[in-house]
Amino acid sequence: MSKKILILPGDGIGPEIVREAVKVLNCLRDHFGLDIAMEEALVGGAAFDDSGHPLPKATLDLALDADAVLLGAVGGPKWESLDISVRPEKGLLGLRGELGLFANLRPAILYPQLAAASTLRSDVVSGLDILIVRELTGGIYFGQPRGVETLASGERRGLNTLVYTESEIDRICRVAFDIAMKRGKRVCSVDKANVLECTELWREVAIRVGGDYPQVELSHMYVDNAAMQLVRAPKQFDVMVTTNLFGDILSDCAAMLTGSIGMLPSASLDADGKGMYEPIHGSAPDIAGTGVANPLATILSLAMMLRYSLDAGVQAERIEKAVSAVLDQGLRTPDIFTEGNEKIGTVQMGDAVVSVLRSAAI
Ligand code: IPM
Ligand code: MG
């Protein structure tokens, strides 16, 4: 039976980059036997404009029913003044929470062809291959109580809660250790155990889980030091596992090591391997509609989808090889452009990937 993929273009550059990724899916379906059926729905600001809610029930139902979800990006200045409960970001957080997508995998890989595009010296970043495993449905993003309250004095007080149960920490650490077993067998657990009790527990549980993986070397790092180490000597890391908020911050930082946030895919998985796949960059409203957004992070997210949710590792490799071949051809969107290459736009980049895919070489 066909695998069902729900396509959620979202806002800003979302629709432009997702369109290119869909071309790639169509190509794999039409020419390489990938058995899929696609549906499309609204999420984020686009959904709010349509129905007054960033995650309409119809979209959630389709997502629950799908084998995998591809999401572009959500948010933009147009919706920034809305109440937080209906902001586009709530659509994304709602999907993560409702689908139970607790494990967010954010690889930061430097393509050798792009070493010159990083702001860091190429000897610091060349060969970089880090995987950040971010907890995605707990922590301060979801903790209660939360909100802004007015005190008796009339002054307002904002409040969010950092909370993790042992089982939440246990399951995300297991994801990190399982993946580390298939990679460099090193896990760095990032916390702020010197200040926050919640992450003191995080460290304790990480050590306990580590006991089940004697072949994996476990280290610990405070988040401030981890941020510094990521820009000082990023190649010391293999797999990093951390909380929702720390992972949000560190993954942006890791992304920049690779030259452009426009290159990095992500997977958000539930306990059974069902997942939502999205580029880690946002909706980039400043360049939306100008045709220059880099679709490669979204296209590479498809590769993760094929590998993790659709059991189609060979198809995933096709995509990854095609992306690498396009970079070899010197084709670059502006975010990854360096002298001596050819600057192209979103649609041309999508077309270039499809054309390589269709050539006998892949
Ligand atoms: C991310 C984004 C989201 C997050 C926003 C858009 C809610 O920054 O996926 O990293 O904070 O998780
Ligand atoms: Mg983020």
Ligand with smallest separation from the Cα of 266: 1
Buried b (16+ CB within 10 A) or exposed e, 61-70: ebbeebbbbb
- How many A from CA of 57 to the centre of ligand 1? 21
Answer yes or no: is pLDDT of 361 > 60: no
Contact 300, 264 (CB under 8 A): yes
Output the pLDDT for position 261. 84
Residue from 3, 90, 141, 308 carrying the catalytic annotation:
141
The residue whose CA is least distant from atom 8 of ligand 1 is 248
Distance 75 CA to ligand 1 centre (A): 10
Q: Is 89 in the pocket of ligand 1 (CB under 6 A)?
A: yes
Q: State the Cα–Cα distance between residues 192 and 312, nearest whole angstrom.
A: 38
Give the Å distance between the CA of 251 and the centre of ligand 2: 7
What's residue 131's pLDDT?
97
- Nearest ligand by distance to the CA of 101: 1
Ligand at minimal distance from the CA of 244 is: 1
Q: Is 141 a catalytic residue?
A: yes
State the CB neighbour count (10 A cutoff) for residue 8: 31
Q: Cα dist. 8→17, 34, 51 in Å?
A: 11, 20, 15
Is 248's C-beta closer than 6 angstroms to any atom of ligand 1?
yes
Q: Within the chain, how many helices (H) and strands (E) appear?
A: 12, 14
Whose Cα sits closest to atom 9 in ligand 1?
280
Q: Which residue lies with its CA nearest to atom 10 of ligand 1?
A: 248
pLDDT digits (tens, 9 = 90+) for 123-173: 999 999 999 999 999 999 999 999 999 999 999 999 999 999 999 999 999
In this model, does residue 256 exceed pLDDT 90?
no
Q: What would the two tokens of residue 97 be? A: 């929470």
Q: 258 or 80, which is more confident? A: 80
- Say what the pLDDT of residue 273 is: 87
CA separation for the pair 90, 115 (Å, rounded): 36
Residue 91 CA: which ligand is closest? 1
Is the alpha carbon torsion for 193, 196, 201, 206 positive or negative? negative
Structural domains in the chain plus CATH codes: 1-106+266-362 (3.40.718.10), 119-258 (3.40.718.10)
192 is catalytic: yes
- Please write down the long-range contacts of 336-344, taking CB distance under 8 Å and 24 or more positions apart: 336/114, 336/117, 336/259, 336/260, 336/262, 336/263, 336/294, 337/117, 338/116, 338/117
Q: How far is the CA of 30 from the centre of ligand 2 (A)?
A: 34
Mean pLDDT computed over 252-267? 90
pLDDT tens per residue, range 260-274: 888 999 999 999 989
Return d(Cα 239, Cα 247) in angstroms, integer.
12
Question: pLDDT at residue 362 above 60?
Answer: no
* Cβ of 135 below 6 Å from ligand 1: no
* Whether residue 252 lies in the annotated active site: yes
pLDDT digits (tens, 9 = 90+) for 100-131: 999 999 999 999 888 888 899 989 999 999 99
Q: How close is the Cα of 248 to the center of ligand 1, in Å?
A: 7
**Binding site membership of 217 for ligand 1 (Cβ less than 6 Å):** no
Closest CA relative to residue 312, chosen from 320, 303, 321, 323: 303
Whether this prediction's pTM lies above 0.85 is answered by yes
Give, using CA atoms, the residue closest to atom 7 of ligand 1: 89
Closest residue CA from atom 11 of ligand 1: 248
The alpha carbon of 340 and the centre of ligand 1 are apart by a number of angstroms equal to 34
- Would you state the pLDDT for residue 360? 64
Compute the distance between CA of residue 3 and CA of residue 70 in angstroms, rounded to an integer: 13
State the chain's mean pLDDT as an integer: 96
State yes or no: is 272 an active-site residue.
no
